[in-house]
Chains A and B, each alone.
Chain A
Amino acid sequence: MMPPLLQVPPSFFSLDSSAPPDVLGGWIACFLTLAVFSFLYRDNPFYKLAEHVFIGLGTAYFALQYYEQGVLQKLQTHIVDASVLETVKLGGHEVPADVAIGLRAAAVVLSGMLLLRLVAPSSWAPRWPLAIMVGVYAALKMTGETQSKLVLLVGNSIQPIVSSEALPFGPDVRIEQTALWFTATKLIYYIGLICVLGHFVFTFRRTRTLAAVSRIGVVTLMITFGSMFGFTVLGRIALLIERVAMLKDYTAPEYALAGGTQAGLLATVLSPPVLLTVLMVALLALGALRRRERSPGPA
């Protein structure tokens, strides 16, 4: 949620990120939002412009962030700053600074070797850092993933079907607090779990029993996918509502074309979301008319 717009009047242009969005930024934000939404009508120049601006800005921002945080600051901290210290903390261990700098310099050399792929694609040099990266990443993933997504998850799936904390039916007891509810949900859970696992058993001939188990497994999977679809809709609608809320914020009179702080019909009509919507719809309609005129009529 944007800070309340009316508490501090926005300036026309400001680079202070803690200040309310400036007027110019407000118009640009509204234009780009509406330009992206215009794709729902059809592909058009407004959408194309927003798309190109987004890709350009995104690429520039990400490249700068990765260069600053991943290259520049690492070199500064681990080599330049470390050169005046006696010991350096490396991977959780105190090591002499010259050893740490040597290891970091080796990493820089490996990074350089990786870039050699650009000039000599078939060279042996890029393969060494790539092999180290793959090995380290595999080892890191294997231990963590095995522990959290296999061992602990299997342990988590084995649960009692009765609860000592569940309550009997009563006037002030919610149904999900009752013992019957608890046991019923756990039984459904176990039946679903076993049947889904049964669906993926391909070792044996698919007898009537296994086929029935598999069928229940498929139904369970479809319910799961339905739930995932529901959550996806939830997320997409939340994004739409946030954009609508943002556009509504910019209908404040401070952002209107004429400026000023007097709310009213004229200020609303001249505000970025309303004025830009009208202009864009008019231009898109004009474009549609011209296309219709150019297209050959029925023979």
Chain B
Amino acid sequence: MASVIANFDRRWIFLAVGLLVVSLYAAGISSELPESEYVRDFHATLEALPPGAIVLLSADFDPASAAELLPMYQGVIHHLFARDLRIVNVATWPAAPPFTQKEFARIAPLYGKTYGVDWVELGFLPGDDVAMGSIGQSLRSAYPRDDRRTSWADLPLLADVGDNMRGISLLITASAGYPGILEWIAQVGGRYDVTLLAGTTAVQTPDLFAFYPLQLKGFLGAATGATQYLQLAAPLAARLPTGEGALDEVRDENQRRMLVQSWAHILILALIVVGNVIYFRTRVPTGAARR
């Protein structure tokens, strides 16, 4: 048995995981998830905002994490527009703006929203934590112009935004790592009177439990959190014309992926158990080794 483990080609495991994922995804079965309290609080915080309130939406991700964060980002844009909330979009990761531009261009027309009045894209700001600090201190100093090179005075939405996060009711970040939610908490959450929400990658999620609910009112942990949130927010899709970009499509796609996710986890758990059983059965006892 020991030689079996020593000579086992791990590419068989890659192949097994790959075949399982492909076959289950192709089958198209979906699974509904029970919502956790972090997700319910995320949703409730958004629902509690009055129409017209301004939300600072930060895209802190890149293509490597888009698989986890883009669905929740799409869901949040739908949710904010459906509730007639206004969005100021920023990015602290250089690869994020192409995603955000595409999503706003696709979703905003569904709700009849106007650029400059209902949403503004300020684009990428280099500087990591320092950039976040300067956004908190003065959004106007940090971004004298928007991503389309329009000046501050020509964007009516920004007339309601002042220094020290004045006028911003909520900050939401789709955070893939550094800089991300932990830096927003340190540079903005701890200094200004603004509520924070986050959607994060799976790797970053365990770090956030300590900040909930005092510094972080709610969060969406990875694809699971995104799916749970989309389930809560999807009833808003009824207000939309059917077709491309509707929120229920994003939810259905995520529910479909979650079933695959669950079975892939079961397979990996089974492999861990089998590996441990084989290891303990073939392990040479310490005493025997000494003799």
Q: Which residues on A sit within 8 Å (CB–CB) of B101?
A: 17
A70 surroundings in chain B (CB, below 8 A): 126-127
The answer to whether A66 has its CB under 8 Å from any CB of chain B is yes
Q: Check: A164 CB closer than 8 A to any chain B CB.
A: no
| Size of A's binding interface in residues, CB under 8 A | 57
Return chain B residues, CB-CB under 8 Å to A232.
202-203
In the complex, chain A residues whose CB is within 8 Å of the CB of B125: 69
What does the 1/0 interface line of B80-98 toward A look like (CB < 8 Å)?
0000000000000011001
Collect the chain A residues with CB atoms within 8 Å of residue B26's CB: 248
Cα A278 to Cα B126 with chains together (Å): 43
* Complex Cα gap A144–B102 (Å): 33
If the complex has contacts A148-B186, A234-B224, A238-B261, are A245 and B253 also in contact, measured as CB distance less than 8 A?
A: yes
A244 and B22 alpha carbons, distance in the complex (Å) = 6
Verify A234–B265 contact, CB threshold 8 A.
yes
Contact B202 A240 (CB under 8 A): no
Residues of B with C-beta under 8 A to A77: 144-145
Q: Are A241 and B21 in contact (CB under 8 A)?
A: yes
A184 in the interface (beta carbon within 8 A): no
Interface positions, chain B 46-60, Cβ under 8 Å from A, are none
B205 touches A156 (CB 8 A): no
**Is the pair A92, B164 in contact by a Cβ cutoff of 8 Å?**
yes
B94 touches A231 (CB 8 A): no
> Which B residues touch A144, using CB under 8 A?
129, 133, 186-187, 190-191
| Residue numbers in B under 8 Å from A233 (CB-CB) | 202, 265, 268
> For the complex, is B76 an interface residue (Cβ under 8 Å from A)?
no
Q: A3-B245, A148-B185 are in contact. Are A234 and B145 (CB under 8 A)?
A: no
B17 contacts the other chain (CB 8 A): yes
Whether the Cβ atoms of A156 and B106 lie closer than 8 Å is no
Which B-chain residue is minimally distant from A151 (CB atoms)?
A: B190
Closest to B130 in A: A140
**Chain A 104-124 against B: per-residue CB contact (8 Å), 1 yes, 0 no?**
000000000000000000000
List the A residue with the shortest CB-CB distance to B95.
A61
Known: A1-B71, A156-B215, A244-B21. A231 touches B221 (CB 8 A): yes
Number of contacting residues on B, CB 8 A?
A: 71
In the bound complex, CA of A237 to CA of B258 (Å): 10
B95-137 contacts to A, CB under 8 A, are 95, 98, 101-102, 105-106, 123-127, 129-130, 133-134, 137
- Whether B244 lies near A4 (C-beta < 8 A) is yes
Q: Does A202 contact B (CB under 8 A)?
A: no
From residue A235, how far is it (CB to closest CB) to chain B in Å?
3
Q: Report yes or no: B214 in contact with A241, Cβ–Cβ below 8 A.
A: no
Pairwise interchain contact A89-B186, C-beta atoms closer than 8 A: no
Interface residues in B29-54 (C-beta closer than 8 Å to A)? none
- Across the two chains, which residue of chain B brings its CB closest to A81? B144
Contacts of B232 in A (CB 8 A): none
Which residues on the A side are within 8 Å of B264 (C-beta)?
237, 240-241
For B141, give its contact among A40, A89, A157 (CB under 8 Å).
A89
Bound Cα distance from A99 to B17, whole angstroms = 62
Identify 20 residue pairs between A and B in the complex whose beta-carbon atoms are under 8 Å apart, listed by A's number. A3-B106, A41-B11, A61-B94, A69-B124, A89-B144, A140-B133, A144-B129, A144-B191, A145-B186, A148-B185, A152-B215, A157-B210, A228-B206, A231-B222, A235-B68, A235-B222, A235-B223, A241-B21, A242-B66, A242-B67
Q: Which residues of B contact A (CB under 8 A)?
A: 11, 14, 17-18, 21-22, 25-26, 64, 66-68, 70-71, 74, 94-95, 98, 101-102, 105-106, 123-127, 129-130, 133-134, 137-138, 140-141, 144-145, 163-164, 182, 185-187, 189-191, 201-203, 205-206, 210-211, 214-215, 221-224, 243-245, 249-250, 253, 257, 260-261, 264-265, 268
